[in-house]
Amino acid sequence: MPDKNNIPAHVAIIMDGNGRWAKSRRLPRTMGHNAGLKAMKEIVKHANVLGIKYLTVYAFSTENWKRSKEEVNGIFKLLISYVASELEELKENNVKVHILGRWTQMPDSVIESLSRLIEGTKSDTGLQLNIALNYGGRDEITMAAQKLAAAAVAGQILPEDISQEDISGALYTGQEGIPDPDLLIRTSGEMRISNYLLWQIAYSEMVFTDLYWPDFTPEALDKAIEEYQNRKRRFGGR
């Protein structure tokens, strides 16, 4: 079991491998996403028990629109189903939900469901579950740059005075006071960042696992955290 005195405050996860999990079982890709959602439910519960303060999961990227219409619509239906089935349990477990990304550009049915989820958990004070939807790291940085440029044009800030803290504060995470991830986990054996939290993970520890996301269990999360705990974070120092 991980050392409860050294639990990362913020864990970010790239939930990869749903499609390959389904393909290996000769199932439709939508079945892989369904299995992945079940895995996410268990990880959220376990993260809450461990005392993780922020859990950020990559659910739908700005690039995922390139996938087939059937797969994209299947993902949206799962999101709506997730809200319907999990809202009460999330509230009971004191989990607060926040959305990162341009989620208000998604279909109306998804927006309505997510709005209920955000409103229904806004008073919760336990684990904060950040769901990255219609999210891209470069898009987020571009949005932050535009926001700061507008402030400079309005005379609210001098360009030469813009600091790293200002940029961090203009990001989706900074607007909500979310700290940078201590640990980034990616499943499925891929070793890429895939346009995820590009600014925020500058000094995050990274753990890659060959497990497909639907096979990522609470025990696998424990193992990743134990690996994190066995490292010495230097933040550029010696």
- Which residue ranges make up each domain of the chain? 4-136+179-229
Residue 236, pLDDT > 80, answer no
Which of 5, 64, 124, 134 does the annotation list as catalytic?
64
The amino acid at 212: Y
Quote the tokens at residue 5. Answer: 């005195």
| pLDDT at 191 (0 to 100) | 96
71: Cβ–Cβ under 8 A, 6 or more apart, which residues?
Answer: 29, 30, 33
Q: How many helices (H) and strands (E) does the chain have?
A: 8, 6
Residue 23, pLDDT > 70, answer yes
pLDDT band at 238 (very low <50, low <70, confident <90, very high): low
Closest CA relative to residue 200, chosen from 109, 124, 100: 100
Residue 233, pLDDT > 90, answer no
What would the pLDDT profile of 66-100 be if each residue is shown by its tens digit?
999 988 888 888 888 888 889 999 999 999 999 99
Contact in structure between 192 and 16 (CB atoms under 8 Å): no
Which of 3, 5, 6, 16 does the annotation list as catalytic?
16
| pLDDT at 78 (0 to 100) | 87
pLDDT band at 146 (very low <50, low <70, confident <90, very high): very high
pLDDT band at 188 (very low <50, low <70, confident <90, very high): very high
Residue 106, pLDDT > 70, answer yes
Superfamily classification of domain 4-136+179-229: Decaprenyl diphosphate synthase-like (3.40.1180.10)
Task: Provide the angle, in degrees to the nearest 10, between the axes of the packed helices 218-229 and 29-50.
Answer: 60
What gap in Å lies between CA 133 and CA 75, rounded to an integer?
Answer: 11
Contact in structure between 172 and 141 (CB atoms under 8 Å): no
pTM greater than 0.85: yes
The answer to whether residue 64 is catalytic is yes
Q: pLDDT over 70 for what percent of the chain? A: 99
What gap in Å lies between CA 65 and CA 133, rounded to an integer?
Answer: 11
| Choice among 33-47, 149-163, 170-184, 223-237 with the minimum mean pLDDT | 223-237
The answer to whether residue 5 is catalytic is no
Residue 167: phi and psi, rounded to 5, are: -65, -45
Average confidence (pLDDT) over 134-146: 97
| pLDDT at 196 (0 to 100) | 97
